[in-house]
Structure 1
Amino acid sequence: MESSTASERKKLNRREILEKKKAIDQLLKAASAQIDHLASLPSFRCFNRNGLCLRLESGCGDRLSHCTKQCIQNLLKANMEGPYGSEWAVEEKVKRREMVAPEARYIFVRRNANEVMMDSAPTPLLGFVQYRFTLEEEIPVLYLYELQLDSSVQGKGLGKFLMELVELIAQENRMGAVVLTVQKSNSLAMKFYISKLRYVVSSISPSRVDPLAGVKKNYEILCKTFDHEAKVILEAC
Structure 2
Amino acid sequence: MKQDSGVECAHVTCRGGRLLSFVHNRFVIEEGVPVLYAYELQLESSAQGKGLRKFLMQLIELINARMLVEPNGAVMLTVQKSNTDAMAFYNNLGHVISTTSPSRFDPLIRTHRSYEILCKTFESEAKCRLEEGN
Q: Find the aligned partners of 1:156 and 1:145 in 2 and give their Cα distance.
A: 22
Partner of 1:106: 10
C-alpha separation in 2, matches of 1:180 and 1:146 = 8
Q: For residue 136 of structure 1, what is the aligned residue in structure 2? A: 30
Partner of 2:115: 219
Alignment of 1:62-73 (within 5 A): none
Higher-Rg member (1/2): 1
Gaps of 5+ in 1: 1-24, 33-103, 117-122
State whether structure 2 residue 54 is matched by structure 1 residue 166. Answer: no
Percent of matched pairs sharing the same residue:
55
Gaps of 5+ in 2: none
Secondary structure class of the residue paired with 2:34: strand
Name 1:21's counterpart in structure 2.
none
The 3-state SS of whatever aligns with 1:160 is helix
Matching residue of 1:234: 130
Query: One-letter code of the match for 2:9?
Result: R
Dislocated runs of 4+, deviation >4 Å:
none
Greater share of residues in strand? 2
Counterparts of 1:177-216 in structure 2, within 5 Å, are: 177-194=74-91, 196-216=92-112
Please tell me whether residue 149 in structure 1 is matched to residue 43 in structure 2: yes
* Separation in 1, partners of 2:108, 2:86: 24
**What is the TM-score of this pair, normalised by structure 1?**
0.51
Higher helix share: 1
User: SS at 2:49's partner residue?
Assistant: coil
